[in-house]
Structure 1
């Protein structure tokens, strides 16, 4: 799951300032958006896994959930998004992304559908950012962006003269963001045994990366890099 549109530094700033904002927003629109995010995550995961039938089913559920969000927005106050033209554009944009992804899934173009669905995450993230709303998904997205940066650049850094320094910095960032995944989780997640198990796997993968980098063992580092994505993906699809 690659999101090249995310910028690294703004996400770090978001993570650093997370304590200033509530993890869960209390307004009905944000709550509805978060509920609609559940089938979206499933569709994103299924298209990435190359599961055609399951992708179509998950995408259909995501579209139905989004239709309910649209109806809610029409029927009541949209605070904290009141008078925000971006909300209307986001509603339309997500609907268009879903329609395009559905066509791609039907044509068997699952990688393309996955890329299309990634745009939904960006649209919702930008809507919240513009309105100073932060939810747990933002912490998951921040971790994901840094993880993808590591996956893209890590193998190159291993071959560079100053690569270990860059890997050390990246491993430290992931360690910090993994800490936020724990500290900023809502109470419902923190009381879940499944959440603790999945988060523990993410934490262990980051710890293994930091240990390998500290040892300067390129073989271990390469192995550790290859083991960070799977634990995150499992946590994301259930709680992201």
Structure 2
């Protein structure tokens, strides 16, 4: 079986709904291009961080609008795990949107603190271990010298986690993109990861960006969701919970 046949087999096994994939692409492109361009006209000189946060906030807002009935959309932030999840309740497939740079760090075999979340997620795709390019089997790294009681306890926890995952999610797909502070987004990839972050499928779908029509900016129809009266246009996506953002400049005491 050649590489092309393997990819086709994996795509069939994944059962990915191309309509959902294209809808996600539209959210990424519209959120990062249309919305960001609109904000640039209102705020011509944003900081670099503001540009970056605008992209994420706009993509998330577009996903919330596009995926409503039958979907659950959430936004996550923990270290390099900065992503948006879209769970299709009918197919039990979860799509994860993250930056290509962060995804590369996660699957690079770095420290446990960088990879442990993705390794847990790969349990969802554990059935892909039957494919030729899978190496080994998913499991916890347990030293033989450890007490059997600890080993059995870990296996019990693993089985419990797998049961809970299988009840709600059958497959997960990682959609990565390279953001650009000027143009919004410049590249999009579709990835399937299994077996402790081993990549089983990866396809460059950047060409699909050109096929998505982005309407010209019209201030009269633009959704000013982050621009309510009396509120600063401040993104909190990257802000730790313990950090408070001041909305007014306080006069210094003499």
Decide: shared fold, TM above 0.5: no
Return the TM-score normalized by structure 2.
Answer: 0.26
Return the TM-score normalized by structure 1.
Answer: 0.27
Which has the greater radius of gyration? 2
More helix per residue: 1
More strand per residue: 2
